[in-house]
Amino acid sequence: MPELAYVNGKYGPIEEAVVSIDDRGYQFGDGVYEVLYVFGGRLFLFDEHLVRLKMSLDGIAIRGVDMDEVRAVMIEMVARSGFDRAKLYYCVTRGVAPRNHPYPAGVKPSIHATIRPVTPPPSEEIAKGLRAVTIADFRWGRCDLKTLNLLGNVLAKQQALDSGFDEAIFYGPDGVVREATAANAFAVDGGVVYTYPLGPHILPGITRDLVMKLGREIGVPIREEGLTLDKFRRADEVFLTGTTAELIAITQLDGETVGSGGTGPVTTRLRAAYDQYVESFLASA
């Protein structure tokens, strides 16, 4: 099946999709988005993603979006694609209007979506983990809203890649570690899992919430408490969570080995719990 796109009511091949040059998403980054995984031909953590999308829409005052229509389009995208495992990108912008900073009156929000098949990462890649570098956070102050304004994330990611790393992890002016460019960050110290608390400095990750819930169910102590850069670097284990990252260890940080240099025992337990949750989701079809 071909990769599929949706633009304001029209479905078709991605290569034929067209967005107006006056779309405010293009002109100002004036929009929000979600990325969802499809497992077994079904949207994973669907309701949770819709709740966050609505929160982002409200956060930047985009009105007039019918969430039932959003749900229907996402379901139709999956059905038309026929993909068993895929990544669905869904974007809402304030709409199309001549370029001017104030919100345009009477403009209908624009809806854009794409769906592409994905393959799971090899098990050896998951076991090996990622190499990360820490970077001072220079992004805007509302990272809790999933907006199209991702230039800071793009620059940090490219800086990491250019320096021979796989990912960048941000820390704030107070020296406390926040999150990665496209994932939430966790550290394990003495068997306790730490992650930065919810607020304007990090995205309220859907996978973050799931992993914390699963961890508590299997008896892993978890604290929503930020760690200083020094403590984070000295952690026994570090890992990331996200829709596309799922759950993966950081085995090298700022050029130094994390813990034993492999996926640690707590991360392994949490990854197993996550995988089991996905298996249960597949079995519930």
Quick check: helix, strand or coil at residue 130? strand
> Is the Cα dihedral 155, 159, 165, 171 positive or negative?
negative
Structure tokens at 168: 């960048």
Query: 């209007």: which residue's tokens?
Result: 97
HSE-up (13 A, CA, CB side) for residue 224: 13
Contact 31, 94 (CB under 8 A): yes
| β-bridge partners, 247 | 241
Instruction: Catalytic residue, from 108, 146, 157, 231: name it.
Output: 146
Residues in Cβ contact with 284 at an 8 Å cutoff, skipping those fewer than 6 apart: none
User: What are the φ and ψ backbone dihedral angles of 179, each rounded to 5 degrees?
Assistant: -160, 175
Closest CA to 203 of 242, 161, 255: 242
Cα 189 off chain centre by: 24
Residue 257 identity (one-letter amino acid): T
Polymer length of the chain: 285
Q: From CA 111, how far away is CA 10, in angstroms rounded?
A: 10
Contact 192, 186 (CB under 8 A): no
87 a catalytic residue: no
Contact 249, 264 (CB under 8 A): yes
| β-bridge partners, 132 | 167, 253
Q: What are the residue numbers of the active site?
A: 146
